[in-house]
Every structure is written in C-alpha cells, then in structure tokens.
Structure 1
Amino acid sequence: MLNHADQGPREPDGARRSTLLRIGALCGLALSGDILAAVGAPKNGSAPELLTREELALTGVLAELIIPQTDTPGALAVGAHRTVDHLLKACVLAPEQAAFRSGLARIESVAAAQGGRRFTALPHARQVALLHALDDGAAPFNDDDRRFFRQLKGFVAFAYYTSEAGATRELAYLPVPGGFTGNVKLTRSTRTWAI
C-alpha cells in the first residue's frame, strides 16, 4: 500500500482520473485509489521507489522491447518503467515484489551465462531472442520465468496505455464517441479506440 505519510499523493489530473473510472466501470472493475495513484508515476530523473537503478534500467529496456517506438513513442519514452516501479511499490505485496525482482535477476543471470554481459549490454537481436525464449518458457527459462514475464507485460501495457501518448496517440481517442458505424474500412494505419 502507498504510505501517504512518507510522500504526498500523486494523482493524475481530474479528467484522466474520471476517464479511468469510466473505463473501469465499463469493464466491471473496481479500481482502487492506489492503482489510480500509480497512473501519476514519478517523473524521469527521480530516484526509483522500489527497484534499484540497475533494475529500473533493465525494466526500461524490457518495456521498450515489449512496446517499441514506431510512429508513436515507445514504452521507454512515456516512462512506463517508472510507472511499473511505482505500481510495484504502491500496489504489490512484499512477496510479489521480491518475486518480481527475482525475475529481473533471472534475466540478468541468463544473459550473463549466455552472452557474458548484462542484458542491457547485449545486442538487440540477442535481447529479442532471449525474450522469445522467456515468453515461451523455453530453456534456459522455466514456467516461473514465463509467469514473471507475463506479469511484466501486463504492467507495461497498463503503464503505456494509461500514459497520455498511449491513450491519445497510440489509440484513437474520441471524448464523445459518435453513433454506430457498421462497416468501417480497415487500413494498415487504422488504430484501436481508447474508449
């Protein structure tokens, strides 16, 4: 839980909070105040809240590999790794925090064993190959590693799509959706709707 005595509450602006509450209601979810506060993650350059600087850097590289920059900003550019750090601190219990950090350490140990370097120093193609093995739970990774990676992807997706760029530039955004259009021509640049 977020300890508001140690730090001031970080809340997203009112419009964003309202939109998230509406999305949660539409999905049948009850969003807690901690999860909504996590959307207002710390700014770039501030110290990590739970992770070490090395773990935060690794999380940033992993986030960018999960949602890379295209014609829209990638996960690293929107600070998804910092939001993940904040989510871990504010919304995750100590055993799960430890498991997450162990998952990061496992990636580093496999990278060192196979490439002789930290994961962040490996060539891009090697990083992608390791993540494919991790996602499949293939050797040298196992099912626990695979579960960690799926959790990380969920955190990164949440962090990215609740960012301004994710919600308005990656997804199409229409504050007041129009009527039903039954036959929409899809092209390669057609985007999914945020609301």
Structure 2
Amino acid sequence: MTAELTNHSRRRFLQGVLISLGTGLSNGLIGDNALAAALNYRVVPDGEPYQTKVLSNEQLMLLKRVCNTIIPATETPGAGDIGVHGFIDHQLYHCYDLNVHNRMRAILSVIETSSLRIYGHSFAQLNAEKQVVHLTRLETAAEPFSEQQRTDFKQLKALVCFGYYTSETGASHELVYQAYPGGFKGQIAYRGRAGYGSLAYY
C-alpha cells in the first residue's frame, strides 16, 4: 500500500469519526488544517519531556486526569494513558485561536477550583466515582456550573474523543479500523513459477 493511499484512507476514517460526534461537537474539528495536524501528531515516548504549547504543565496533568475520566481504561488504555492530553495541546496550538485557548484553560481552571471548593481536594485527588460525578455536574450545567462552562466542556470532550478515536489504540482496538474493510485479498491466482518480462501476457 502506498503512503498516499494510507493517508487518504486515514483521512476518510477521521472524517467519519468527526461526523459521528455530531454537527455541534465536530464543528471546528473537521477542517483540512485540523485533519492535517491530527495526522502529523506523534506521541512523545515515555521518559521524554513534552514541550507544552498552549497549556501549562499543571493544566496538562489535570487534563490527563479529565481524559481518563471521560474515556477510562477498560480492556484498552484510557484516553490519558495514551497521551490524548498532549494531542489536545497540539491541536489547540495548530488549529485554534487565542479565544479558544483561553476558554480551554478557563474550563480546566473551573474543574480544579470547583473541586477544591466542593470536596476540599484537587480533582486528581478525588476517587474515580467523584470525578465522574463532578464532570457530570459540569456537563449538565448543574450548580455551581454555568451554561457557558457546559458549552466549553463539551468542546473539550469533543477534542478528547477526536484524539482517542484517531489514535492507534482507539482506531484499531475500539473502532476496529481497517484500511481495507474485511481485509485485503488478492484476486490474481498463483499458477506457479513464471518469468514475466516486458512482452509477457497475463
């Protein structure tokens, strides 16, 4: 398979994932720039430092916890475990303006400060059940969260889903993505040894 064909196949797959997220959530994710950035993202191997682009190191670690709460580990790793938080930082830098950067920073700050106020602990210190409850309240704009914060969190969730389901883990294990659905089967029967030259007939 040529690199060009592989890239085209992946692009079609990414577009299908975005459409499945729904028009509202996929808005801003489906442009050529977003797809190109996603295709060019490479996860930083464990042990190597990651140079943040939009988020601070503290925000990135908080986002990792949020990613793992939205898509937790089951038979496959959670979203944070495969580096979706780094992918989001990458996408924000390449595909979004300062307004979106500030909104994503702000919603992460809201998650942390409200956790401290309600539970007396940072979001990372909450058990898994409380983390789910906390984000569910945000997603439904329950007290103390506002509708605008709910909207911003939905955009963050869309980025988490986009990052996870376009990763190798999400595509090959969760969605069982195949460049050739059903597998590739050659159609030319093998008839033994043949010397195919420039004048050979098939």
TM category, shorter: 0.7 to 0.9
2:44 maps to amino acid: K
Q: Does 1:115 align with 2:119?
A: yes
Question: For 1:14 and 1:73, how far apart are their aligned partners in 2?
Answer: 29
Q: Once the 2 structures are TM-superposed, how far is the Cα of residue 24 of structure 1 from its aligned partner?
A: 5.8
Letter in 2 for 1:65: T
> 1:1-195 maps to which residues of 2 (within 5 A)?
17-23=7-13, 31-39=31-39, 40-44=41-45, 45-178=49-182
Kept after mapping to 2: 8 A contact 1:17/1:36: no
Higher helix share: 2
Equivalent residues of 1:135, 1:149 under 8 A apart: yes
Does the residue aligned with 1:77 lie in a helix, a strand or coil? Answer: helix
Q: What is the rounded CA distance, in whole Å, between the counterparts of 1:60 and 1:94 in structure 2?
A: 22
Give the partner amino acid of 2:36: L
Provide the C-alpha distance between the structure 1 equivalents of 2:168 and 2:53, rounded to a whole number of angstroms.
Answer: 22
Residue 14 of structure 1 deviates from its aligned partner by: 5.5
Conservation of the 8 A alpha-carbon contact between 1:59 and 1:81: yes
Partner of 2:24: none
- Kindly name which structure, 1 or 2, has the bigger radius of gyration based on alpha carbons: 2
Structure 1 position 164, deviation (Å) = 0.5
d(CA) in 2 for partners of 1:128 and 1:79?
20
Question: CA deviation digits over 1:36-72, x for unaligned, max 9?
Answer: 2234144153122210011001111001111111111
Q: Which runs of 5+ in 2 are unaligned?
A: 20-28, 183-202
Q: Distance in 1 between the 2:161 and 2:30 partners?
A: 19
TM-score (norm 1): 0.76
Note the alpha carbon deviations across 1:83-142, whole angstroms, 9 max, x for none: 011111111100111011011111111011112222111222221111110111100111
Q: Which AA in structure 2 matches 1:155? A: L
More divergent stretch after superposition (106-115 vs 44-53): 44-53
CA positional deviation for 1:19:
2.2
Contact 1:35 1:91 in 2 (8 A): no
Corresponding residue number in structure 2 for 1:9: none
**TM-score normalised to the size of structure 2?**
0.74
Cα distance, 1:132–1:30 mapped onto 2, change above 3 Å: closer
